[in-house]
Amino acid sequence: MRKTQIYKYYAFGYNYALLKNGGCLGWAKELAISTLKDLFIDLTMLDLKVTLKAAEKLQSILQEIEKSDAATIDAALANRIKSEVERIDPSLDAELQLQDAYVLTEKRYGTDKLLENPDSLLSGGVYSKLSDTSKKDFSLACTQIAFSQPTAAAFHLMRALEEQVKMIYLGFKKTKRLKKPMWGPMIEELRKKKKPKPSEKLMSHLDGIRVHFRNPTQHPEAFYTLDEAQDLLNQTITAVNMIHRELPKTG
């Protein structure tokens, strides 16, 4: 996936029309060079490979202008530019018909936060304390919600949160730990433990997510709606923040 601003297409079309209609007639040499260079940069950035190949003669004209001593573009050179732009027109028209733009629909959280700043969804400083695995899973979950892939988002959210459940378990449980720490048994052991231990409010929240989300997610026939995935994101954010508020109690 590559992020491309729609404005790039507009700017490209505007500059292309100027070249096609006037061929830079009477333009200062520097302006003509700049506009032609921008054209080739845009063709590359917009992945219009066929048109870029078809525009090789136009690139040769650009090189001529760069070597020229003339201060402006005369009629003869302008006509050559116009002719070359008109020649590549069919290639551009055909290639643009193969280009599609997908618009991300609005979610409960802003697209910029989901794609660029998932750390801002958590309380201050919490994201930096997550394990590398949790960071990756949480970020991927946010990306999948932005792209309307709710089941994938749920999978990554549960992976991210289970890692945090293990973190609080290891923080409070210093001896006789489970050989294979699993979500349910970890909660059970923390509840049975003498103080200090996590609050019952946190344990209930984590166990509720386990029963209503984590366990169903393990079934291959389970699919989530976008609303369900966003509900789970809200609950995961709350759970992770609660875990990290209580972790300092481990001393």
Q: Which residues make Cβ contacts (< 8 Å) with residue 216, sequence separation at least 6?
A: 222
How many domains, in total, are found in the chain?
Answer: 2
Considering the domain architecture, whether residues 74 and 156 belong to the same structural domain is answered as: no
Q: Where are the alpha helices (DSSP H) in 46-105?
A: 49-54, 56-67, 75-96
Which of 70, 97, 124 lies at the terminal end of a domain, its last residue? 97
Considering the domain architecture, whether residues 130 and 64 belong to the same structural domain is answered as: no
As given in the structure block, the two tokens for residue 223 are: 């699919």
CA distance readout (Å), 191 to 46, 68, 127, 160, 164: 57, 82, 26, 22, 16
pLDDT, tens digit only, all 251 positions of the chain? 777 788 888 989 999 999 999 999 999 999 999 999 999 999 998 889 999 999 999 999 999 999 999 999 999 999 999 999 999 999 999 999 998 888 889 999 999 999 999 999 999 999 999 999 999 999 999 999 999 999 999 999 999 999 999 999 999 999 999 999 999 999 999 999 998 999 999 999 999 999 988 877 777 778 999 999 999 999 999 999 999 999 865 44
Q: Which residues make Cβ contacts (< 8 Å) with residue 128, sequence separation at least 6?
A: 119
Q: What pLDDT was estimated at residue 249?
A: 52
Considering the domain architecture, whether residues 42 and 163 belong to the same structural domain is answered as: no
Q: What pLDDT was estimated at residue 212?
A: 86
Considering the domain architecture, whether residues 119 and 237 belong to the same structural domain is answered as: yes
* Domain hosting residue 92, numbered range: 6-97
Q: Is residue 76 part of a domain?
A: yes
Residue with tokens 């060079």: 33
Backbone angles phi, psi at 164, to 5 degrees: -75, -35
Q: What pLDDT was estimated at residue 250?
A: 46
